[in-house]
Chain A
């Protein structure tokens, strides 16, 4: 604040999506959720950013880490999946999308700083959630990521149950996001939800005052 040389600090800070993202499987599909805050240091650069990016009709990914890195990976994989699905003549598998993301994340792991959670529905294995942190590839029943995830590990571990319905899973995701957003300075804004199953993809945005209320003094 005292040193004005070089301009305001938020011009030189890397733009991070310091985020909370979460992906959960249910019987017949998946729910992906994210917050909407993009920060550059202490400045909120965008308070309504949708961090759930489309990779294919029924495959989405949640972005976290460096905004530019994550968006670029998602764009590249979106292109690769377009080509792949035309060559194959059918919709790609979620595992293919996750492998493509993993290949980029691993090859450029020294240069990039992004973690994408890939989730979707395909006709072979139904709903799947894949984690690609640091270039690994692992399928999990649910996954959390981003700076806000640290605050909700306890919550998701305690509250997750196998075999939840579509509605219960959506509630679980919204609850997790809300709790993280209220504790993590780098997460906040609105909650974006994407629910994917055999019948299609549903995008939802839940505004701040519609989020569930937890202990708040």
Chain B
């Protein structure tokens, strides 16, 4: 289904006759080539899960993390070109830090996501630069406003979500997310479901080994964004693997 731009796709400062900016669409394709990341908002927090593909056995475990801390209370999960994502994480960190310095309190997530989205959008206006090749999900928890989740894509739009997925298996992940009643769940229950979804959408055939990155922010962490502790993560992974086996078994029964 790849549409060829034929001359209108050489720079981000050019529209095509049917009103598309091809460079931005190509940037979104770069995100779709990357492995999946999901973020889900529940009643007392946010949980992030990333399917981090391990390309070589020689990699040190835990390298090339795809979940970043932007401020004490804000986490960011990314998909797409990791180098672009790192530079945007730095932009987000500066925004959050400057806000705190100027106004004396934590940056509200909507404001942060608007500011970073504006920055991403700026790179879609000129031929001298290329758009960022990554999407990211921002999440935070606050006593007064509760949990919030926003996603920003390479075109520079940001939307608030209850649950969202980015990367190669985003459709499959979205389907799984829609089955959840996240508004009634707590973070502890949600961690297991997030692990399960990542395991479900992971393609065993095409991609070999992967590391599951899990992080959360919510009442359970007193509003700080943290990596999920080892014991809870192992419990979640076990739940995910067991759930997968059950599905495999039930498939065989139908034969």
Q: Are B111 and A87 touching (Cβ within 8 A)? A: yes
Whether A103 is near chain B, meaning CB under 8 Å from some CB there, is yes
Q: What are the residues of chain A within 8 A of B104 when measuring CB–CB?
A: 93, 95-96, 98-99, 102, 137
Q: In the complex, which of the residues A88, A103, A123 contacts B108, with contact meaning CB atoms closer than 8 Å?
A: A88
Give the nearest-CB partner of A93 in chain B: B105
Give the nearest-CB partner of B110 in chain A: A89
Q: In the complex, which of the residues B103, B110, B111 contacts A99, with contact meaning CB atoms closer than 8 Å?
A: B103
Whether A124 is near chain B, meaning CB under 8 Å from some CB there, is yes
Q: Are A124 and B144 touching (Cβ within 8 A)? A: yes
Whether B181 is near chain A, meaning CB under 8 Å from some CB there, is no
Q: What are the residues of chain B within 8 A of A103 when measuring CB–CB?
A: 101-102
Q: What are the residues of chain B within 8 A of A98 when measuring CB–CB?
A: 104
Q: What are the residues of chain A within 8 A of B110 when measuring CB–CB?
A: 89
Cα(A189)–Cα(B101), bound, Å: 39
Q: In the complex, which of the residues B103, B108, B111, B114 contacts A100, with contact meaning CB atoms closer than 8 Å?
A: B103
Q: What are the residues of chain A within 8 A of B101 when measuring CB–CB?
A: 103
Cα(A180)–Cα(B53), bound, Å: 72
Q: Are B103 and A84 touching (Cβ within 8 A)? A: yes
Q: Are A96 and B105 touching (Cβ within 8 A)? A: yes
Shortest CB-to-CB span from B107 to chain A, Å, is 10
Per-residue CB contact flags for chain A residues 59-86 toward chain B (1 = under 8 Å, else 0) read 0000000000000000000000000100
Q: Report the interface size for chain A: residues with CB under 8 A from the other chain.
A: 16
Cα(A117)–Cα(B105), bound, Å: 19
User: Which bucket holds chain B's interface residue count?
Assistant: 10 to 19
Cα(A96)–Cα(B102), bound, Å: 8
Q: What are the residues of chain B within 8 A of A89 when measuring CB–CB?
A: 110
Cα(A123)–Cα(B144), bound, Å: 9
Q: Are A88 and B102 touching (Cβ within 8 A)? A: no
Give the nearest-CB partner of B142 in chain A: A124
Cα(A88)–Cα(B101), bound, Å: 16
Give the nearest-CB partner of A123 in chain B: B144
Cα(A98)–Cα(B102), bound, Å: 10
Q: What are the residues of chain B within 8 A of A99 when measuring CB–CB?
A: 102-105
Cα(A84)–Cα(B105), bound, Å: 13
Give the nearest-CB partner of A102 in chain B: B104
Shortest CB-to-CB span from B52 to chain A, Å, is 35
Cα(A52)–Cα(B182), bound, Å: 48
Q: Considering the complex, which residues of chain B in the window 89-116 have a beta carbon less than 8 Å from any beta carbon of chain A?
A: 101-105, 108, 110-111, 114
Q: What are the residues of chain A within 8 A of B103 when measuring CB–CB?
A: 84, 92-93, 95-96, 99-100
Give the nearest-CB partner of B143 in chain A: A124
Q: Are A100 and B102 touching (Cβ within 8 A)? A: yes
Cα(A134)–Cα(B104), bound, Å: 17
Q: Considering the complex, which residues of chain A in the window 89-115 have a beta carbon less than 8 Å from any beta carbon of chain B?
A: 89, 92-93, 95-96, 98-100, 102-103
Shortest CB-to-CB span from B101 to chain A, Å, is 8
Give the nearest-CB partner of A96 in chain B: B103
Q: What are the residues of chain B within 8 A of A137 when measuring CB–CB?
A: 104
Beyond A87-B111, A89-B110, whether A95 also contacts B105 by CB under 8 A is yes
What is the interface of chain A, defined by CB distance below 8 A to chain B? 84, 87-89, 92-93, 95-96, 98-100, 102-103, 123-124, 137
> Nearest 3 CB-CB pairs, A to B?
A99-B104, A96-B103, A95-B104
24 contacts between A and B (CB under 8 A): A87-B111, A88-B111, A89-B110, A92-B103, A93-B103, A93-B104, A93-B105, A95-B103, A95-B104, A95-B105, A96-B103, A96-B104, A96-B105, A98-B104, A99-B102, A99-B104, A99-B105, A100-B102, A100-B103, A102-B104, A103-B102, A123-B144, A124-B144, A137-B104
Q: Contacts A93-B105, A95-B105, A100-B103 known; list 6 others, CB within 8 Å.
A: A87-B111, A88-B111, A99-B103, A102-B104, A103-B101, A103-B102
